[in-house]
Amino acid sequence: MYLWDSNILRHYGEEHPTLHHNVQRVSWAEIAIPSVVVAEVLRGRCEFALKAPPEKAALAHSLLVETQKYLTQFNQLLFDDKCAKALEELKRQHKAHKKYADLMIAAMAKVGKHVVVTRNQKDFENFLPPNQLANWIDIEPT
């Protein structure tokens, strides 16, 4: 399974050409959005919807609903108890790492032996071996 980081989801929505070429190399069933990424994306939309000034409130709520609908086109992989145990181990090993969501995604990849697709491979290279990382934005398909 290929787990998309939030930056890949954003580039997909922007119809990035290299990403779309890479997507065509695999079955859509092999691509998933981690529930961590779903939470990140919805958190931003929810905060905007709840804090928007009156002149932007209607737009904020419209964007929230659009985002929810947009996310339904993707397989979503749930962070579960096995992932929580892997996360505990990663936290012990990497106490200084500040990006908790990255640790959660790495734990999901470790447990399921998935590949994390991200433009920010440096965020994950201390947690996952190179064969579990892919950059579908800057690397053309072969």
133-141: average pLDDT:
88
4-33: average pLDDT:
95
Distance set, CA 64 to CA 20, 33, 47, 67, 73 (Å): 25, 18, 10, 5, 15
- For the chain, the domains span 2-134
In the numeric block, the tokens 């920010």 are attached to 120
Largest CA distance in the chain: 50
| Residue 23 · residue 136 · CB < 8 Å | yes
Pairing mode, if any, of strands 2-4 and 115-117? parallel
What pLDDT is attached to residue 134? 96
CATH of 2-134, one of 3.40.630.10, 1.10.3260.10, 3.90.550.10, 3.40.50.1010: 3.40.50.1010
Dihedral over Cα of 59, 62, 68, 73: its sign: negative
The more confident residue out of 38 and 141 is 38
Distance CA 112, CA 99 (A): 21
What pLDDT is attached to residue 142? 62
The more confident residue out of 139 and 48 is 48
pTM: 0.91
What pLDDT is attached to residue 141? 64
User: Quick check: helix, strand or coil at residue 125?
Assistant: coil
